[in-house]
Amino acid sequence: MEERIQKIMARMGVASRRAAEEIIAEGRVTVNGETASIGMKADPSKCHIKVDGKLIFRPEPKVHLMFNKPVGVVSTLADPEGRPTVKDYLKGVKFRVFPVGRLDYDSEGLLLLTNDGEFSNELLHPSRKIPKTYVVKVKGIMPEEKVGKLRQGVRLEDGRTQPARVRFIREAEANSWIEITITEGRKRQVRRMVEAVGHPALKLRRISVSGVKLAGLKIGEIRPLTEKELQTLKQETAARAGNIQRD
């Protein structure tokens, strides 16, 4: 699948997107031997992309990983502020991978990593509405009325959220634990939703993406997806794509 050259470079950890544009403008990037230009697109699985004469991508086996992201780690391969990133945890990974979507800096839990652009795009496409489940510790005791509002959808500054599956788990002293499943991918959406009903998030952990669960993986650990997990994700996206086409 074709992407803009600067986006490929940023995803591969070569440079930030803005810095990548400057490198391209300086004529230091080539695609299959031709000098690249800003806005130019290429398929990284088929094209030879070089920066200063060095190849940044070679066709390689498709890799699909699960990462239990700690709090205080940025879900990117580079950070201009010098904060810890996903890349710091990839020392044992042979192939160059990138995060599938984001998980907030101050949140923890399941983050998928891959070098499979098509797989990533299918999971992230807004029309697929892939379910993602979180366990959230919120401030105060959340009454059933507020749980009901989350289920129906709440109004945020960027519009009303879609209905969510919400389950009250337990009270913990002066706070509550809830489980919430959403099918949208807005920035910091779960945190904004619980804050909108008057119960700010104190802790947030993603535990599942489309039925693939985090269970058994320690914080900071990475492992390959099992064949069953990979097929679950692929079948889910294919089924949702089929439903959209039929509609």
Q: Report pLDDT for 126.
A: 86
- Please tell me whether residues 29 and 76 are part of one structural domain: no
Q: Report pLDDT for 57.
A: 63
- Please tell me whether residues 205 and 216 are part of one structural domain: no
Q: Report pLDDT for 134.
A: 98
Q: Report pLDDT for 246.
A: 42
Considering 17, 37, 55, which residue would you say is the last residue of a domain?
55
Q: Report pLDDT for 15.
A: 84
- Please tell me whether residues 31 and 135 are part of one structural domain: no
- Please tell me whether residues 140 and 203 are part of one structural domain: yes
pLDDT at 45 over 80: no
For tokens 């697109």, name the residue. Answer: 41
Q: Give 217-231 pLDDT, tens digit per residue.
A: 999 999 999 999 999
CATH number of the domain to which 216 belongs? 3.30.70.580
**Which is more confidently placed, 45 or 71?**
71
Is there a catalytic annotation at residue 104? yes
For residues 219, 221, 224 and 229, what is the CA-based torsion angle, rounded to 10 degrees?
Answer: -10
Q: What's the number of domains the chain is made of?
A: 3
CATH number of the domain to which 166 belongs? 3.30.70.1560
The answer to whether the beta carbons of residues 37 and 47 sit under 8 Å apart is no
Q: Report pLDDT for 12.
A: 78
Q: Report pLDDT for 11.
A: 77
The answer to whether the beta carbons of residues 106 and 71 sit under 8 Å apart is yes
* Strand-pair partners of 176: 138, 171
pLDDT at 247 over 60: no
Q: Tell me the mean pLDDT in the region 191-215.
A: 96
**Which is more confidently placed, 8 or 244?**
8
CA 92 vs CA 63, 133, 172: distances in Å: 13, 28, 38
- Please tell me whether residues 112 and 226 are part of one structural domain: yes
- Please tell me whether residues 69 and 17 are part of one structural domain: no
Task: Report the DSSP pairing between strands 64-69 and 222-224.
Answer: antiparallel
Q: Tell me the mean pLDDT in the region 121-134.
A: 91
Residue 195's domain comprises 131-209
Name the average pLDDT for the chain: 91
Q: Report pLDDT for 63.
A: 93
Measuring CA to CA, which residue among 3, 76, 16, 14 is closest to residue 51? 14
Give the pLDDT band (50/70/90) at residue 169: very high
Angle 143-144-149 from CA coordinates, rounded to 5°: 105
Catalytic residue of the set 52, 79, 88, 104: 104
- Please tell me whether residues 111 and 136 are part of one structural domain: no
The answer to whether the beta carbons of residues 68 and 77 sit under 8 Å apart is no
- Please tell me whether residues 85 and 121 are part of one structural domain: yes
CATH number of the domain to which 37 belongs? 3.10.290.10
